[in-house]
Amino acid sequence: MVIVSRTPYRVSFFGGGTDYPDYYLEHGGKVLAAAINKYCYLSVRRLPPFFHHRHRIVYSQTELVNSIDEIQHPSVRETMRYRGIDYGISVHHDGDMPAHSGMGSSSAFTVGLLNSFHALENQMISKRDLARSAIHIEQVLIGESVGSQDQTLSAHGGLNLVDFMPNGEIVVSPVIMKPEVLQAFEGRLLLVFTGHSRNASEIAAEQLRALPGKLQAMDELKALVDQAMALFTVHEPDLDAFGPLLNRTWQIKRELSSRITTPEIDAIHQAALRNGALGGKLLGAGGGGCMLFYVRREDRERLIKALHGYLVIPFRFDFDGSRIIVYDPNYPAEA
């Protein structure tokens, strides 16, 4: 049997940071974010017993090992333990974006792997359970300093308001708008890769240590979610007000850690504002990865030219979430 899963990455607009359990289990959190059509692909199958190794894991490196304990990739190791895998496994990863891009690539991997393992055992899993299990693996079993929005968006897909409740519940509410408004909104977003990656977990851990003294900033980040949602719920949405809100959330995020930004990131942001962007922010925990800008269509080409040294990544929203795109129970016959 061979399984191929496709799991989307995400862009986070507002509320990032309030999705960490350290905050939302006491204060409640919320984010406005979207899954996009850039994906983590995983090919998974049982490994036949003809090799000198029991497990084969291929990503930026190749692991050929005989026990789960030997696996270096933390998500593969802990997801196999979580699922009680007691047979040989082959996992091949291919992604549309590099690691540490600020778009939830690690969580997309975990969500896709969980989905694939369920399919490999002829099971289906709900999007809710898929997200919750991935959160448990990353936060508890691996012990990473990660929030809960990445797994949720990768599992569910869509443009969503996500509420993180103090009782631990996660409520996903799709943002509903007219097709022409959605198309206009998508067309005014510009994604730019800075060319630098960073360890999100390390930066997030620093922010969490400083959390007790930053509650006012966190509360304001959360309030911006409601302000952004208000733009979409009026009869004639003022989409251009979205840009300044992005700038405000970026200003607040910069206060949370000395490692959020760099001189180069600040220079990119300022160049964008001088060349038509109405607002922008860095995605993810900070330090590198991708930046997101809001720009009117008539200013889009001017902005792209101004950022000529950086890669612009076209995208649209994804509304499917993590999917099994190949399920072939007959290939090959199990040994």
Residue pLDDT, tens place only, 283-300: 986 777 899 999 999 999
Mean pLDDT across 130-146: 96
Residue 334 lies in a domain: no
Residue 265 lies in a domain: yes
Q: Do residues 18 and 89 make contact, with C-beta atoms less than 8 angstroms apart? A: no
Cα angle 285, 287, 288 (rounded to 5 degrees) comes to 100
- Residues 77 and 146 both lie in one domain: yes
What are the tokens at 155? 């599992």
Q: How many CB atoms are located within 10 Å of the residue 254 CB?
A: 17
Check pLDDT > 70 for residue 55: yes
- Residues 101 and 76 both lie in one domain: yes
Question: What is the rounded CA–CA span in Å between residue 81 and residue 93?
Answer: 19
Cβ neighbours for 179, distance < 8 A, ≥ 6 positions apart: none
- Residues 148 and 126 both lie in one domain: yes
Residue that the structure tokens 């995020």 belong to: 253
Residue that the structure tokens 């200003």 belong to: 251
- Residues 137 and 238 both lie in one domain: no
CA 199 to the chain's CA centroid: 14
| CATH number for the domain that contains residue 262 | 3.30.70.890
| CATH number for the domain that contains residue 86 | 3.30.230.10
Q: Do residues 24 and 225 make contact, with C-beta atoms less than 8 angstroms apart? A: no
- Residues 183 and 144 both lie in one domain: no
Residue 202 lies in a domain: yes
Model confidence over 208-263: pLDDT tens digits? Answer: 666 777 889 999 999 999 999 999 988 888 999 999 999 999 999 988 877 788 89
Burial 200-211 (b: 16+ CB within 10 A, else e): bbebbbbbbeeb
Task: Give the domain range for residue 265.
Answer: 179-313
- Residues 263 and 216 both lie in one domain: yes
- Residues 169 and 184 both lie in one domain: no
Residue 333 lies in a domain: no
Give the residue from 280, 330, 331, 334 showing the smallest Cα distance to 303: 280
pLDDT of residue 279: 97
Note the residue count of the chain: 335
- Residues 110 and 129 both lie in one domain: yes
Question: What is the rounded CA–CA span in Å between residue 96 and residue 104?
Answer: 12
> What average pLDDT does the structure give for the chain?
92
- Residues 25 and 113 both lie in one domain: yes
Share of the chain above pLDDT 90, in %: 81
Cβ neighbours for 86, distance < 8 A, ≥ 6 positions apart: none
Residue 335 lies in a domain: no
Question: What is the rounded CA–CA span in Å between residue 146 and residue 44?
Answer: 25
Q: How many domains does the structure of the chain reveal?
A: 2
Residue 7 lies in a domain: yes
**pLDDT confidence bin for 98, thresholds 50/70/90:** confident
- Residues 115 and 87 both lie in one domain: yes
Sheet of strand 189-193: strand arrangement = 277-282, 290-295, 189-193, 311-313
- Residues 90 and 212 both lie in one domain: no
pLDDT of residue 201: 58
Mean pLDDT across 119-128: 97
**pLDDT confidence bin for 203, thresholds 50/70/90:** low
Cβ neighbours for 45, distance < 8 A, ≥ 6 positions apart: 1, 2, 3, 89, 90, 120
- Residues 168 and 98 both lie in one domain: yes
